[in-house]
Structure 1
Amino acid sequence: MNRIKGSVYIKILIHIALFLSGLTLAIGTYHIFNYLDSYTTNTSDFKETSEFQNKYLKYVERVAVYVDYREKGYSGSIGFDPSSSDISSLFEKEVDTKTKKKDNDASTEQQKFDYYNAILNQTNSNFLYYVKNIKTGAVYASAALENKVNKANDDGKNKMTLKEYLEHVKLTNNAYLIINTETEKYATNVNRNYQYLNDENLSWVIDYIKGNVINGEGDKEKDRGDYLICTTIVNNFPNKADEFGTMYHHFNSLYFNYSNSLHPVPISFIMLLLFLILTVFFTGHSKNSDEIILLGFDRLKTESSLILTAGGAALLYTTAIRLCKYLHEDYSFDYSILLGIGYAILYPFCMFALLSLVRRVKKNILISNSYLHSFGLKLKVFIREFFTGRSITFHFAGIIILFTIIETAGFLIYRYAFSFHYRIPIAITTCIFGYLFLFYLTIKQVIDFKIISHETKKLADGDLSHKIPIESMREPALSLALDINNISEGFSAAVDEKVKSERLKTELIANVSHDIKTPLTSIINYVDLLKKENLNNETAQGYLDILSGKTWRLKTLIEDLVEASKASSGALVLNLECLNLVELVRQSLGEFEDKFLDHKIEPVLTVSQEPLYIMADGRSTYRIIENIFSNVVKYALSGTRAYINIGAEEDMAVVSVKNISTAKLNISTDELMERFVRGDLSRNTEGSGLGLSIAKSLAAIQEGTFDIELDGDLFKAVLKFNKLNGYTSETRIAKESDFLP
Structure 2
Amino acid sequence: MNLETQKTKAGTYLYEYAAANLKKVSIRDLYMTLSGVTEEVAAFKNQESGISVDADDANLWYCLEDKEGNIYTNVDSWKNGYTTAIAQKSSYPFAFAVDRTGGADKVRSYATRKNSPAVEAARSYLLNNQIADNYQKIFVALDPDLAASDYFSQYSEIYSQWLPKMQLLLLMIAVGGIGTLVCLVLFTLQAGRNGKNKEIRLYFFDQWYTEIAAAAAILIVMGAVGIVAVCIELSYGGVHYIQNFDGNYIYSGSYGNEADTWRSLVAASGILAGFLITLIPYCSLVRRIKARNIWKQSFLYCVGHRIVSAGRTFYEGRQESERTILMFCVFCGVQIILCCGFGMFGVFLTLVMDAAVLLLLLREASGRKQIEHGLKEIAAGDLDYKIDLTELQGEDNLQLAGIVNSLGEGMKAAVQEQMKSERLKADLITNVSHDIKTPLTSIINYVDLLKRENIENEKAKDYIRVLDEKSQRLKQLTEDLVEASKISSGNIKLEFMNLNLNELVQQVNGEFAERFESRNLDLICILQPEPLLICADSRRIWRVLENLYVNVCKYAMPGTRVYVDAIRKDGKIQFSIKNISENALNCEADELTERFIRGDVSRSTEGSGLGLSIAKNLTVLQHGTFDIYLDGDLFKVTITFDEVVKEKKPETSGYTAKPEMPEEDLEKPSSDTI
TM-score band (shorter)? 0.3 to 0.5
> Highest CA radius of gyration, 1 or 2?
2
Q: TM-score, normalised by structure 1?
A: 0.32
Which TM-score applies when normalising by structure 2?
0.35
Task: Tell me: higher relative CO, structure 1 or 2? Use CA pairs within 8 A at least 6 residues apart.
Answer: 1
> Which structure: greater helix fraction?
1
